[in-house]
């Protein structure tokens, strides 16, 4: 990798320290994988349940490299015009009209296909940018196979061809992070071009560290209770288990309510922050509320 900041990282420990400085508590295997992705110039494919901090990895990486984040949110039907580039048709037509009025229509023929009339979307932006940005391709599982096939081409050469204009090629391939929530299996051909990392729910110890890192003002006791309850909930038979994002939201909500300690009442009234399905909420209210309160007070 060509960027100065990246080459400053000589071992996974440096990555861990850099992430911690940005208040991201990673486990070591993520740090190793991230380190390798940067060193080998390979895209990093991150999978995991919703809310475990996949997108956050890209943001934090950007912050610690001091580079720009270019984010492409995927959705079904995402096409080249929204992902790569598009000609600014309206301005081109205005230019034609103007040129006609000024009697220089012949010159306009080539002029309207200059970079000035090209709207760069995230992927072209990442490839043609003068600095080395971090490219985040978020929730690639939401895009369809057609888009995946296009990504294959981009990720192997880091170049984009605009037929009317020519080829843009990245001087140094930008660090690329691809995330997936597994709402469908992404094709192996795409994974083959990447390093793979599965982000699991954190251990209690690490989750506590995350809560403290993100919310320095929280009382140690409340933080311990919050983590104990969330960890207990993840062991429960739920349709959607709470992620780290929910833990942080919940801690924030409890803070806003001025809660000092967690009892069954406080858990019950804020359950909607942690659980997003009616079935899950009902299940917890009926079956596990006393157990959770116990976990909270025991922590």
Closest residue by Cα to residue 191 from 137, 243, 244: 137
- Of 24-32, 202-210, 220-228, 265-273, the segment contacting other proteins by CB under 8 A is 24-32
Q: Rank residues 87 and 294 by Cβ distance to other proteins and give the closer one.
A: 87
Beta-strand pair 85-87/69-73: unpaired
Q: Rank residues 263 and 278 by Cβ distance to other proteins and give the closer one.
A: 278
Q: How far is the CB of 144 from other proteins (least distance, A)?
A: 7
For other proteins, the binding residues in 103-122 under the rule CB under 8 A are 105, 112
d(CA 28, CA 169): 33
Taking residue 233's Cβ as centre, other Cβ atoms within 10 Å add up to 23
For other proteins, the binding residues in 84-103 under the rule CB under 8 A are 86-87, 89-90, 92-94, 96-97, 100
Among 5, 36, 281, 289, indicate the residue that binds other proteins (CB under 8 A). 36
Q: From residue 235 to residue 274, what is the string marking binding to other proteins with x (rule CB under 8 A)? A: --x-x-----------------------------------
d(CA 251, CA 256): 9
Among 21, 171, 192, 276, indicate the residue that binds other proteins (CB under 8 A). 192
d(CA 95, CA 237): 62
For other proteins, the binding residues in 141-180 under the rule CB under 8 A are 144, 146
For residues 244 and 51, the answer to whether their CB atoms sit within 8 Å is yes
**Using rule CB under 8 A, residue 29 touches other proteins:** yes
Task: Match 């949110």 to its residue by tokens.
Answer: 73
Output the CA torsion 247→196→141→129 (10° steps). 100
What is the longest distance spanned by two Cα atoms in the chain? Answer: 84
Please work out the total of residues on this chain that contact other proteins, with binding judged by CB under 8 A: 49
For CA atoms 30, 36, 39, 40, give the dihedral sign: negative
Q: Interface with other proteins by CB under 8 A: which residues?
A: 11-12, 28-33, 35-37, 39-40, 42, 47, 75-77, 79, 81, 86-87, 89-90, 92-94, 96-97, 100, 105, 112, 144, 146, 182-185, 188, 191-192, 195-198, 237, 239, 278-279
């Amino acid at each position: 990798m060509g960027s100065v900041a990246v080459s400053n990282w000589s071992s996974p420990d440096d990555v861990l320290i850099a992430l911690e400085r940005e208040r991201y508590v990673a486990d070591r295997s993520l740090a190793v994988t991230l380190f390798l992705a940067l060193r080998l110039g390979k895209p990093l494919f991150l999978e995991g349940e919703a809310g475990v901090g996949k997108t956050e990895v890209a943001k934090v990486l950007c912050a610690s490299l001091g580079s720009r984040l270019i984010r492409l949110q995927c959705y079904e039907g995402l096409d080249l015009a929204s992902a790569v580039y598009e000609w600014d048709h309206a301005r081109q037509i205005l230019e034609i009209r103007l040129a006609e009025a000024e009697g220089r229509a012949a010159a306009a023929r080539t002029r309207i296909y200059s970079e000035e009339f090209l709207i760069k979307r995230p992927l072209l932006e990442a490839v043609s940018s003068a600095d080395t940005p971090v490219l985040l391709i978020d929730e690639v599982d939401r895009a369809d196979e057609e888009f995946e096939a296009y990504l294959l081409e981009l990720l192997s050469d880091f170049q984009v061809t605009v037929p009317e204009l020519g080829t843009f090629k990245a001087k140094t391939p930008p660090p690329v992070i691809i995330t997936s929530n597994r709402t469908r299996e992404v094709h192996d051909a795409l994974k083959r071009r990447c390093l793979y990392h599965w982000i699991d729910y954190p251990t209690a110890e690490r989750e506590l560290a995350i809560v403290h890192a993100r919310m320095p003002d929280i009382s140690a006791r409340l933080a311990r209770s919050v983590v104990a309850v969330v960890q207990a909930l993840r062991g429960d038979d739920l349709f959607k288990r709470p992620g780290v994002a929910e833990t942080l939201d919940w801690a924030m909500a409890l803070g806003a309510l001025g809660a000092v300690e967690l009892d069954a009442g406080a858990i019950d009234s804020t359950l909607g922050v942690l659980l997003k399905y009616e079935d899950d909420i009902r299940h917890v209210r009926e079956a596990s509320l006393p157990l959770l309160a116990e976990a909270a007070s025991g922590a």
